[in-house]
Structure 1
Amino acid sequence: MSDRPAETTDILAQGTFDLLHPGHHHYLREAATMGDRLHVIVARGENVSHKEPPILPGSQRREMVGALEPVDEVHLGHPEDIFVPVERIDPDVLVLGYDQHHDEESIAAALTDRGIDCTVRRASACDPDYDGAVLSTGEIIDRILAERR
């Protein structure tokens, strides 16, 4: 049980956040609208196994995410158990990114198994207001390599 006031709705977003782009900002802005306080967990590089590991160190990614206007508090993920900071934060809503690989039902079941009473939602896709927006860290890296080689 949390010590926060009952009227406060804590929201949790999580991700790698390597090389920030408009999709990240959209995700966090939308997540922030779902409650009163937005917490963000930045994944540790060693826990990223579904894609290439991040380029930037965790502390730098954490600092950059924490500088974004919608974010109230940012946390670096746990080195062994990704649910440890989720248990500590005890969010009311966990918001998954539009294209994150997580399955909503599996995450909800894992939260229930850990005694975390939390709704799982998925953010909408980012539709930037300008042409040429790159909404993938991998695509940013590929573009840099193509342009700078």
Structure 2
Amino acid sequence: MTRVVAQGTFDLLHPGHVHYLREAAAMGDELIVIVARRANVDHKEKPICPATQRRDVVDALEPVDRAVLGHESDIFVPIEELRPDVIALGHDQHHDEEAITDELERREIQCELRRASGCEPGEDELYSSRLIVGEILDRRG
């Protein structure tokens, strides 16, 4: 059985997230999604929704076998515990693949990194939590 791990913030879920998780699920037999803790989100604005809520929403999606919360201080702890065969990265996620590979080797975790493809939103669609929040602010003040 091929275990795939995907990860992300998943604040204000949108079709881009669903596309990513469908592609990640297709990379193996089991998809476990690690939902980032607020404290670990340092590359963009902190999420609006609590981590447990974001986990529960992701867990309810059809491609996902199980969603778990990330570790409070060490993002690699869940990877050590889950021992995936594949880590699926989103097409636009900020991760440095070489740094991830180096840390996986240091921790003696053997798995493959793969990037999901992107998808273009249709007219009037928003595939970014940041853009969704911006649109809400524009429309509702």
1:76 aligned partner: 69
Does the Cα contact within 8 Å between 1:12 and 1:38 map onto a contact in 2?
yes
Q: Does 1:108 align with 2:113?
A: no
Residues 52-131 of structure 1 aligned to structure 2 (within 5 Å): 52-128=45-121, 130-131=122-123
- How far apart, CA to CA, are the structure 2 residues paired with 1:28 and 1:132? 22
Percent identity of paired positions between Structure 1 and Structure 2: 60
Aligned residues: 141
- Describe the SS at the equivalent of 1:95: strand
In the TM superposition, what is the alpha-carbon distance from 1:110 to its structure 2 partner?
1.1
- How far apart, CA to CA, are the structure 2 residues paired with 1:126 and 1:28? 12
- How far apart, CA to CA, are the structure 2 residues paired with 1:121 and 1:105? 12
Which structure 1 segments of 5+ residues have no match? 1-7
TM-score w.r.t. length of structure 2: 0.97
In the TM superposition, what is the alpha-carbon distance from 1:107 to its structure 2 partner?
1.0
- Describe the SS at the equivalent of 1:14: strand
In the TM superposition, what is the alpha-carbon distance from 1:127 to its structure 2 partner?
2.8
From 30, 36, 50, the equivalent of 1:43 is 36
Which structure 2 segments of 5+ residues have no match? none
Residue 134 of structure 1 aligns with an amino acid whose one-letter code is L
Residue 103 of structure 2 aligns with an amino acid whose one-letter code is A
The ranges of structure 1 where at least 4 consecutive aligned residues each deviate by more than 2 angstroms after the TM superposition are none
- How far apart, CA to CA, are the structure 1 residues paired with 2:96 and 2:76? 15
Q: Does 1:137 align with 2:124?
A: no
Two-structure CA RMSD over aligned residues (Å) = 0.8
- How far apart, CA to CA, are the structure 1 residues paired with 2:123 and 2:20? 19
